């Protein structure tokens, strides 16, 4: 089993729709969780951290389910500019190592 698993997609979604995807992780000792966004042939950029109680940033909502060991990202009122690959990142129990998912590709269609 991979340490961090994501559905590679692509998710093809009409503009204005709501889309959600999950990421599962295998290490129950993981402490920190993040969603990064990566455009084609560009560097990843931090989208948001994921907190235990769930958190929201504008149209984006992130949630953590420790019991089932997954995190989720929900995008409301999707925009064409949301098209990208979304990377799930989880820390190991050491203080530096991040484990990256391979990403979920999202395509927003007009």
Work out which of 28, 53, 81, 97 binds other proteins, going by CB under 8 A: 97
Binding status of residue 99 toward other proteins by CB under 8 A: yes
Question: Beta-carbon neighbour count of residue 68 at 10 Å?
Answer: 8
- Report in angstroms how near the CB of residue 73 gets to other proteins at its nearest: 16
Quick one: 17 or 66, whose CB is closer to other proteins? 66
Instruction: Please give the residue ranges that form the binding site for other proteins (CB under 8 A).
Output: 4, 8, 31-32, 34, 41-46, 49, 87, 91, 95-103
């Amino acid at each position: 089993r991979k340490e961090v698993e994501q559905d590679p997609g692509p998710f093809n979604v009409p503009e204005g729709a709501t889309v959600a995807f999950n990421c599962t992780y295998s290490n129950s000792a993981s402490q920190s969780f993040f969603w990064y966004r990566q455009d084609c042939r560009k560097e990843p950029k931090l989208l948001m951290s994921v907190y235990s109680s769930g958190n929201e940033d504008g149209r984006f909502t992130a949630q953590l389910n420790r019991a089932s060991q997954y995190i989720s990202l929900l995008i409301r009122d999707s925009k064409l500019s949301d098209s990208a690959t979304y990377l799930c990142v989880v820390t190991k129990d050491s203080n530096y190592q991040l484990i990256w998912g391979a990403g979920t590709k999202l395509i927003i269609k007009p």
